[in-house]
């Protein structure tokens, strides 16, 4: 199957629409889930693992960033390196953040996450340096933004008033769930990208797709900043 | 890559980012802010009917400045006679009500907003019954209450009991207006 222009526009439109509709719940663990988790005491490996995976798969900001990261990575080794750096980054702050009870404003963290999507897409279209796509800076950036994504996850997880009993087990389960969700999401993203790359128009469409990605990133950041502004009023 | 092509590609990338930022700002101002936060800088939320999406459910508790009053009124309605009885309520104030009649009575629970054109009323519940009970929450400041009409050949007695955050009521009958003062419950019921 070749991805035509029409497919690309469909994907882009769907992407924007789903971002808009997902905006309402993206990044908030749903109320019934929250009530259930708060009623738990002691370790609940599967429940927290499931929540972590669900959070990753329904969190459009994470998915958009992942798409940006792997967009031009064709060698499996590069995919593994970049995704591992991202995973390492968000695991560190997720675990540290919950454990040390960091109180960070979720809106501001999410705004940075939105801007991380813009950064990555801008880098993809050669905004920083076309030749420098794989040098250390790109890796460092992915790691650094991973730290922010983890901070976002930590604030969400702390939003559930967790009992200290079984906290470490539950936190680790959530993190493992996040990684499993990320693998599932990545598999789908890579599958689509592999098909897309063989298309003759890929180079041309890649520019447009990354511009759409930047739009989504700005939109998400703006949505979160507006939320912050409304909340402090 | 020579410096000329790299400069051109950088300019292209910067233009794409500008376009992305402009597109995002447009979507944000026209759709996302009105739909998510009820903030409507360009009036598009109003035009597209998006503002309702961000409305919060009514709060469980609405504080009031002073205590409520209770009121019990009885109306004798001869055949084809009607009466209107309305309370002055601020927006958000609640009214518990119950009325019972000796026969089926045509009723209309409605309100006239302050500042609205003469004769304008918004109807919330109407029909024909011999009793009705419920809670009314004033959606806007104004006078809120019932129109009752006896369309039977026999006289009807109707008793309306309410408790709410009002201090005055007005009875409209045969072209007359009879205002009533309703003291707070602490002055009438508490010994």
Cβ-nearest to B31 among A20, A24, A211: A20
Q: Is A27 a domain residue?
A: no
Same domain, yes or no: B34 and B112: no
Classify the phi-psi angles of B26: left when phi > 0, otherwise alpha if psi is within -120 to 50, otherwise beta.
Answer: alpha
Q: Is residue A103 part of a domain?
A: yes
The pLDDT, as a whole number, for residue A21 is 40
Q: State the best of A16, A24, A126 to mutate against chain B, taking most chain B CBs within 10 Å.
A: A126
pLDDT of residue A208: 93
Domain total of chain B: 2
Nearest CA in chain A to B22: A215
Positive or negative, the CA dihedral A191, A193, A194, A198 is positive
* Distance, CA of B156 to CA of B76 (rounded, Å): 6
Q: What's the domain count of chain A?
A: 1
Q: Please give the pLDDT value at position A161.
A: 58
**Torsion on CA atoms B74, B79, B82, B85, rounded to nearest 10:** 10
Mean pLDDT by 10 residues, chain A (233 residues): 46 43 46 66 79 84 90 87 89 88 86 92 78 62 90 81 74 88 90 90 90 95 92 82
Same domain, B120 and B85: yes
Question: Is residue A85 within 8 Å of A136, Cβ to Cβ?
Answer: no
> Does residue B99 share a domain with residue B28?
no
Q: What is the reported pLDDT for B75?
A: 96
**What pTM does this model have?**
0.62
The alpha-carbon radius of gyration of chain B (Å, integer) is: 27
In sequence order, what are the residues at sequence separation of 6 or more whose Cβ sits closer than 8 angstroms to the Cβ of residue A73?
Answer: A79, A82
Q: Is B101 exposed, middle or buried (0-12, 13-18, 19+ CB in 10 A)?
A: buried
Report if residue A222 sits inside a domain: yes
Name the residue of chain B whose CA is nearest to A213's CA: B20
CA B122 to chain centre: 9
Together in a domain, B92 and B156:
yes
Max Cα distance, chain A (Å): 56
Residue A3: the pLDDT is 43
In a mutational test of the A interface, the residue from B27, B30, B38, B39 whose CB has the highest number of chain A CBs within 10 Å is: B27
What is the secondary structure of A77-124 as a DSSP string? HHHHHHHHHHHHHHHHHHHHHHHTT----HHHHHHHHHHHHHHHHHHH
Q: Residues B108, B158: one domain? A: yes
User: How far is the alpha carbon of B87 from chain A, nearest alpha carbon, in Å?
Assistant: 35
Residues B153 and B20: their CA atoms lie apart, in Å, by: 73
Angle at A157 between CA A94 and CA A165, to 5 degrees: 95
Residues B97, B153 within the same domain: yes
CA distance A214 to chain B (A): 6
What is the CATH classification number for the domain harbouring B89? 2.60.120.680
Nearest chain A Cα distance for residue B178, angstroms: 45
Rounded-to-integer distance, Cα A91 and Cα A179, Å: 9
Which of A126, A212, A223 lies nearest to residue B10, judging by beta carbons?
A126
Indicate if ipTM > 0.90.
Answer: no
Q: Which residues pair with B128 in a beta bridge?
A: B106
Quote the pLDDT of residue A20. Answer: 40
DSSP B57: P
**Cβ–Cβ contacts within 10 Å for residue A111, how many?**
23
Indicate the helix (H) or strand (E) that contains A61.
helix A60-70
Residues B75 and B127 placed together within one structural domain of the fold: yes
Q: Is B164 exposed, middle or buried (0-12, 13-18, 19+ CB in 10 A)?
A: buried
- Chain B residues within 8 A (CB-CB) of chain A? 1, 6, 9-10, 12-14, 16-17, 19-21, 23-25, 27-28, 31-33, 35-37, 39
Contact B36 A214 (CB under 8 A): no
- Would you give per-residue pLDDT tens digits along chain B (191 residues)? 567 777 788 888 899 999 999 999 999 999 999 888 888 889 888 888 888 777 777 677 888 888 999 999 999 999 999 999 999 999 889 999 999 999 999 999 999 999 888 878 899 999 999 999 999 999 889 999 999 999 999 999 999 999 999 999 999 998 899 999 999 988 887 66
What range defines the domain where residue A199 resides? 5-22+32-232
Indicate yes or no: CB of B24 within 8 angstroms of CB of A216: yes
Element (H, E) at B47: helix B44-48
Q: Could you tell me if residue B64 is inside a domain?
A: no
Domain that holds residue B37: 3-54
Q: Is some CB atom of chain B closer than 8 A to the CB atom of A132?
A: no
Determine whether the interchain pair B17/A131 forms a contact, defined as Cβ–Cβ distance below 8 Å: no
Work out whether strand B142-149 and strand B122-137 pair parallel, antiparallel, or are unpaired. unpaired
Confirm whether B133 is domain-assigned: yes
CA A205 to chain centre: 22
How many CB pairs below 8 Å do chains A and B form together? 77
Q: How many helices (H) and strands (E) does chain A have?
A: 9, 0
Residue A57 pLDDT: 84
- Name the residue facing B9 among A121, A130, A218 (closest C-beta): A130
User: Cβ of B20 and A211 within 8 Å?
Assistant: yes
């Amino acid at each position: 199957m070749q991805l035509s222009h029409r497919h690309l526009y469909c994907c882009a439109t769907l992407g924007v629409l789903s971002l808009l509709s997902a905006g309402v719940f993206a990044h908030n663990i749903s109320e019934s889930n929250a009530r259930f988790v708060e009623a738990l005491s002691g370790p609940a490996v599967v429940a927290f693992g499931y929540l972590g995976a669900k959070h990753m798969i329904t969190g459009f900001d994470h998915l958009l960033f992942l798409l940006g990261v792997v967009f031009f990575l064709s060698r499996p080794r590069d995919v593994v390196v970049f995704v591992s750096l991202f995973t390492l980054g968000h695991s560190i702050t997720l675990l540290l953040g919950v454990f040390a009870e960091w109180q960070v404003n979720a809106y501001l963290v999410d705004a940075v996450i939105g801007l991380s999507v813009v950064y990555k897409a801008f880098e993809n279209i050669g905004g920083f340096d076309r030749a420098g796509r794989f040098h250390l800076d790109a890796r460092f950036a992915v790691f650094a933004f991973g730290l922010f994504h983890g901070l976002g996850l930590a604030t969400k997880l702390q939003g559930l008033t967790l009992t200290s009993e079984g906290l470490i087990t539950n936190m680790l389960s959530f993190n493992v769930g996040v990684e499993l969700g990320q693998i599932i999401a990545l598999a789908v993203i890579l599958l689509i990208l592999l098909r897309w790359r063989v298309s003759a128009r890929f180079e041309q469409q890649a520019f447009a797709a990354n511009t759409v990605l930047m739009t989504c990133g700005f939109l998400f950041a703006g949505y979160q900043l507006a939320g912050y502004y409304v909340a402090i009023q | 890559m020579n410096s000329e092509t790299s400069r051109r590609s950088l300019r292209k990338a910067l233009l794409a980012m500008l376009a992305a930022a402009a597109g995002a700002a447009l979507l944000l101002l026209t759709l996302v802010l009105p739909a998510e936060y009820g903030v409507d800088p360009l009036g598009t939320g109003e035009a597209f009917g998006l503002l309702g999406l961000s409305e919060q459910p009514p709060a469980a508790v609405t504080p009031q400045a002073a205590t409520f009053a209770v009121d019990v009124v009885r109306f004798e309605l001869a055949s084809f006679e009607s009466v209107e009885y309305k309370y002055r309520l601020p927006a958000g104030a609640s009214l518990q009500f119950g009325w019972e009649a000796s026969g089926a009575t045509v009723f209309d629970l409605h309100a006239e907003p302050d500042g609205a054109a003469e004769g304008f009323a918004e109807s919330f519940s109407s029909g024909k019954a011999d009793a009705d009970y419920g809670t009314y929450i004033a959606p806007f400041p104004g006078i809120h209450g019932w129109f009752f009409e006896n369309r039977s050949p026999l006289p009807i007695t109707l008793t309306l009991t309410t408790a709410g955050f009002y201090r005055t009521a007005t009875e409209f009958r045969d072209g007359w207006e009879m205002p009533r003062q309703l003291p707070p419950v602490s002055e009438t019921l508490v010994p």
